[in-house]
């Protein structure tokens, strides 16, 4: 927190602060980067506040500050240590070499003396300087203050400072810290088809009218989550919030009349394909107000929502789970036949000329967690057999109403339930695994696939077309959505954790402590037990989607979904407009603002260093689109790009974002044989290839 300390104490504190040896400041090569956020230009700007301990005059042009006797001036505002590329400002030429600059906050920062620097200009008594963040903030941590201070005694009473601003982490070349790296694209093989289904998001009932999915270029939206397990389609907008919020029936969107039909209409308006979660538990909400543990029946509970609703959290004051009452407190039966009627109602409307509304059906949501999330109506843990029997019954009902349906299941939540039923997990210890041992001692998902394959071979009935699992990284502090820590260690962990999706050598850095390799594992299970099934990641999220690390993790996920042949994927819920996560989507879906996108065939790539590269090709159009990531928060990358196996390049366009407010911008420079990547950045390279005789596509030379 920023605080106005008494002047004497502030001086003592600042003089007592330890600082590292003066950092070596790289010289600026090329034009200085533009200021993205002004701090002081004739007056304070953008919420920056005046702090400090020396006499000063502000707001009437250049700030005039007494820097004699080690005096100083502080500009204060909590801000991101990774968002900006450097500091740019003007100072009185007469006094410049007696001034030093540093950041301040919860961490320690080096001091930069202006006598170390070469001014970028000198006009009318002012010298202008640029200091890269690599020198001011080498660890890329958040900071709260910018400090200008006199570095020695002297007559520095009238030092003027102006045009103080933080610059974007753009493409300006700095001869500063550079990470070694290399990039190569392999066009020798046919590549792998990229499914448009991987660019999906989830419907957020709390933001039902939000058009972000359309804006960021999403291709589909999933109606799902814990609430969908007890959604009552006949009542239109009756859901149960389960253990997430006092087991309460609600009209969750808060919009009168908003129902699944409203949602499907929005999907058509936004041009999105629909993935619909169909309830399978057996009970659905009976109204929009009842709750599973009402105070009238369960007087002693740990927490209640409020006095008006009287809905409790189902725990005793000491935290034990209370035995639930009858399911009729909140719910009515929701058998497969009723769900079939829902699908039939949708298809009947489709037949009136609006086209197919639902493109993928999910068999409920995370059934192995029902005994926790929906324990007021399903207190007993799920078994192998119950999961299979319920899946079979619901799948039959859906296919009867929609013979061409694509069905995905079992929509399990995470690592433990890929392998074990809830019954085995609850038993635990030496008495665990009875359910698994009774089912060929196979992991739950492997057995489920084997059972479905055997059933189809015997009866001709296909229960699922797509294997769907959910994935959330379990590392400490990673978070979900816009939550999550953004300290350097967690940022690095967040980006590394994406390797659990694809890297066989990566041991997950959480309580899992094992090689998750989720996508290869799913493919192996499918190939062994039920060949031909597609792959869906029905929910995933890497947290901090407003921070560069979250944007890079999102881009990593999309790129690997393309490389690994995933059919469908839906981030939970979706990143805010203009956020880092949104920019990651736009890099793959609309990098130039005119429909430029990652293409339909993914190509293998090779990289070295703190980078990632995803490549796509359209042979007929003679085009490549590459997405390159620099995942180092401090070091830039200036490295070779090898596309020699793809042919001769005729045209290049390059777009880049450092996850700031400006988003993806087209660069004036564009190279086909080299990549220049700022720290924590995403770059899209569009290459148009020449024809074999050296002509550009279209016959021109």
Strand, coil or helix: 219: coil
Q: Report yes or no: 694 and 566 within 8 Å, Cβ to Cβ.
A: no
**pLDDT, tens digit, for every residue of 87-98?**
999 999 888 888
pLDDT for 354 equals: 87
Which band of pLDDT confidence, cut at 50, 70 and 90, is reported for residue 49? very high
Percent with pLDDT over 70 in the chain? 92
DSSP code string of 321-373: BPPP--GGGTEEE--HHHHHHHHHHHHHHIIIII----SEEEE-S-GGGHHHH
pLDDT for 216 equals: 96
**pLDDT, tens digit, for every residue of 116-161?**
888 999 888 999 999 988 889 888 888 999 999 998 776 578 899 9
Neighbours of 444 (CB within 10 A): 25
- The conformational region for residue 598 under phi > 0 = left, psi -120 to 50 = alpha, else beta, is beta
Q: How far apart are CA 562 and CA 564, in angstroms?
A: 6
For domain 195-290+330-597, which CATH number applies: 3.40.50.980, 3.30.43.10, 3.20.20.80, 3.30.1330.60?
3.20.20.80
Mean predicted lDDT score pLDDT of the chain: 91
Q: How far apart are CA 215 and CA 253, in angstroms?
A: 21
The candidate with the shortest Cα–Cα distance to 126, out of 71, 171, 175, 163, is 163
The candidate with the shortest Cα–Cα distance to 169, out of 694, 641, 640, 636, is 636
Q: What is the mean pLDDT of residues 236-262?
A: 93
> Residue 214 pLDDT more than 50?
yes
Q: How far apart are CA 362 and CA 568, in angstroms?
A: 12
Q: How far apart are CA 470 and CA 569, in angstroms?
A: 9
Strand, coil or helix: 2: coil
pLDDT for 6 equals: 40
- The conformational region for residue 630 under phi > 0 = left, psi -120 to 50 = alpha, else beta, is beta
Lookup result for tokens 């359309």? 214
Q: What is the mean pLDDT of residues 465-475?
A: 98
H or E element in which residue 408 lies: strand 407-412
pLDDT for 670 equals: 80
pLDDT for 256 equals: 84
Pairing of strands 249-250, 239-240: antiparallel
**Tokens in use for 230?**
């007890």
Q: How far apart are CA 23 and CA 552, in angstroms?
A: 28
Q: How far apart are CA 540 and CA 536, in angstroms?
A: 11
Q: What is the mean pLDDT of residues 356-366?
A: 98
Residues 6 or more apart whose CB falls under 8 angstroms from that of 306 comprise none
**Tokens in use for 242?**
């389960």
Q: Report yes or no: 587 and 576 within 8 Å, Cβ to Cβ.
A: no
**pLDDT, tens digit, for every residue of 453-464?**
999 999 999 999
**pLDDT, tens digit, for every residue of 273-332?**
999 999 999 999 999 999 999 999 999 999 999 999 999 999 999 999 999 999 999 999
Say whether the peptide bond before residue 410 is cis (omega within 30 degrees of 0): yes
- The conformational region for residue 125 under phi > 0 = left, psi -120 to 50 = alpha, else beta, is left
**pLDDT, tens digit, for every residue of 168-196?**
765 444 445 678 899 999 999 999 999 99
Angle between helices 384-401 and 444-459 (to 10 degrees): 50
Q: What is the mean pLDDT of residues 530-547?
A: 97
- Beta partners for residue 618, in sequence order: 623
> Residue 516 pLDDT more than 50?
yes
Question: 7-172 in CATH: which number?
Answer: 2.60.120.430
Q: Report yes or no: 294 and 304 within 8 Å, Cβ to Cβ.
A: no
- Beta partners for residue 321, in sequence order: 315
pLDDT for 661 equals: 82
pLDDT for 50 equals: 93
The candidate with the shortest Cα–Cα distance to 36, out of 72, 80, 6, is 80
- Beta partners for residue 183, in sequence order: 607, 641
Query: Buried (b) or exposed (e) across 630-661, using 16+ Cβ within 10 A?
Result: bbbbbbbbebebebeebeebbeebbbbbbbbe
Lookup result for tokens 């291709």? 219
Q: What is the mean pLDDT of residues 556-584?
A: 97
Q: How far apart are CA 48 and CA 55, in angstroms?
A: 18
* Backbone dihedral angles phi then psi of residue 91, each to the nearest 5 degrees: -145, 150
CA 123 to chain CA centroid, Å, is 45
The candidate with the shortest Cα–Cα distance to 324, out of 382, 380, 381, 251, is 380
> Residue 630 pLDDT more than 90?
yes
- Beta partners for residue 331, in sequence order: 285
> Residue 246 pLDDT more than 70?
yes
> Residue 645 pLDDT more than 90?
yes
Say whether the peptide bond before residue 573 is cis (omega within 30 degrees of 0): yes
| CA quadruple 551, 555, 556, 558: dihedral, nearest 10 | 140
Q: How far apart are CA 390 and CA 247, in angstroms?
A: 23
CATH architecture assigned to 179-190+603-689: Sandwich (2.60)
pLDDT for 170 equals: 57
pLDDT for 171 equals: 46
pLDDT for 14 equals: 40
The candidate with the shortest Cα–Cα distance to 223, out of 283, 288, 274, is 274
pLDDT for 43 equals: 95
660 or 13, which is more confident: 660
Domain ranges for the chain = 7-172, 179-190+603-689, 195-290+330-597, 291-329
pLDDT for 13 equals: 38
> Residue 18 pLDDT more than 50?
no
Residues 6 or more apart whose CB falls under 8 angstroms from that of 336 comprise 280, 393, 394, 396, 397
Residues 6 or more apart whose CB falls under 8 angstroms from that of 183 comprise 605, 606, 607, 611, 613, 628, 639, 640, 641, 642, 675
Q: How far apart are CA 191 and CA 323, in angstroms?
A: 55
């Amino acid at each position: 927190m920023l605080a106005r300390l008494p002047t004497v104490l502030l001086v003592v504190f600042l003089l007592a602060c330890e600082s590292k040896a003066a950092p070596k400041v790289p010289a600026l090569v090329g034009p200085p980067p533009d200021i993205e956020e002004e701090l002081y230009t004739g007056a304070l700007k953008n919420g920056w506040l005046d702090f400090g301990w020396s006499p000063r005059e502000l707001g009437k042009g250049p700030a005039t500050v007494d820097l004699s006797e080690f005096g100083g001036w502080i500009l204060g505002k909590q801000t991101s240590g990774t968002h900006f590329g450097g500091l740019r400002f003007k100072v009185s030429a007469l006094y410049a070499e007696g001034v030093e600059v540093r950041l301040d906050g919860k961490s320690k920062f080096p001091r930069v003396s202006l006598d170390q620097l070469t001014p970028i200009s000198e006009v009318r008594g002012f010298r202008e300087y640029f200091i890269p963040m690599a020198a001011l903030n080498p660890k890329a941590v958040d900071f709260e203050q910018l400090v200008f201070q006199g570095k020695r005694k002297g007559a520095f009473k009238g030092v003027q400072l102006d045009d103080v601003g933080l610059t974007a982490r753009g493409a300006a070349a700095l001869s500063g810290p550079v990470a070694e790296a290399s990039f190569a694209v392999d066009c020798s093989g046919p590549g792998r088809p990229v499914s448009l289904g991987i660019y999906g998001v989830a419907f957020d009932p709390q933001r039902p009218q939000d058009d972000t999915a359309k804006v960021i270029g999403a291709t589909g939206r999933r109606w799902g989550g814990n609430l969908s397990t007890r959604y009552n389609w006949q009542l239109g907008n009756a859901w149960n919030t389960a253990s997430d919020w006092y087991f309460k029936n609600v009209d969750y969107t808060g919009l009168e009349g908003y129902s699944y039909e409203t949602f499907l209409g929005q999907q058509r308006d936004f041009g999105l394909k629909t993935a619909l979660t169909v309830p399978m538990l057996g009970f659905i909400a009976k109204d929009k107000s009842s709750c599973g543990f009402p105070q009238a029946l369960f007087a002693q509970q740990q927490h209640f929502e409020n006095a008006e609703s009287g809905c409790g959290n189902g725990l005793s004051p000491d935290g034990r789970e209370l035995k639930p009452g009858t399911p009729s407190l909140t719910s009515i039966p929701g058998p497969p036949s009723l769900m079939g009627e829902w699908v039939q109602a949708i298809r009947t409307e489709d037949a009136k000329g609006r086209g197919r509304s639902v493109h993928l059906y999910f068999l409920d949501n995370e059934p192995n967690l029902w005994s926790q999330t929906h324990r007021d109506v399903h207190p007993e843990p799920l078994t192998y057999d119950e999961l299979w029997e319920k899946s079979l019954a619901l799948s039959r009902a859906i296919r009867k109403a929609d013979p061409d349906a694509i069905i995905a299941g079992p929509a399990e939540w995470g690592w433990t339930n890929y392998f074990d039923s809830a019954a085995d997990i609850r038993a635990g210890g030496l008495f665990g695994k009875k359910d698994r041992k009774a089912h060929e001692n196979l992991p739950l998902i492997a057995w489920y696939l084997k059972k479905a394959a055997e059933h189809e071979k015997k009866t001709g009935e296909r229960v699922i077309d797509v294997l769907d699992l959910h994935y959330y990284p379990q590392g400490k502090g990673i978070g979900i959505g816009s939550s999550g820590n953004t300290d350097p260690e967690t940022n690095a962990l967040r980006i590394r954790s994406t390797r659990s999706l694809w890297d066989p050598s990566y041991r997950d850095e959480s309580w899992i402590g094992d090689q998750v390799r989720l996508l290869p594992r799913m493919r192996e299970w499918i190939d062994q037990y039920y060949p031909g099934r597609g792959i869906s990641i029905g929910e995933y999220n890497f947290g901090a989607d407003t921070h560069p690390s979250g944007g890079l993790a999102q881009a990593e996920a999309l790129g690997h979904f393309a490389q690994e042949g995933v059919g469908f994927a839906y981030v939970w819920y979706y990143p805010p407009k203009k956020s880092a996560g949104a920019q990651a989507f736009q890099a793959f879906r609309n990098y130039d603002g005119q429909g430029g996108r990652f293409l339909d065939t993914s190509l293998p790539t090779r990289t070295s260093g703190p980078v990632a590269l995803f490549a796509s090709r359209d042979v007929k159009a003679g085009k490549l689109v590459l997405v390159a990531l620099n995942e180092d928060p401090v070091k830039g990358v200036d490295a070779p790009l090898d596309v020699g196996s793809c042919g001769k390049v005729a045209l290049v366009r390059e777009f880049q974002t450092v996850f700031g407010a400006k988003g993806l911008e087209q660069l004036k420079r564009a190279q086909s044989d080299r990549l220049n990547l700022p720290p924590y950045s995403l770059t899209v390279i569009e290459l148009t290839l020449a024809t074999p005789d050296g002509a550009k596509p279209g016959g021109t030379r």
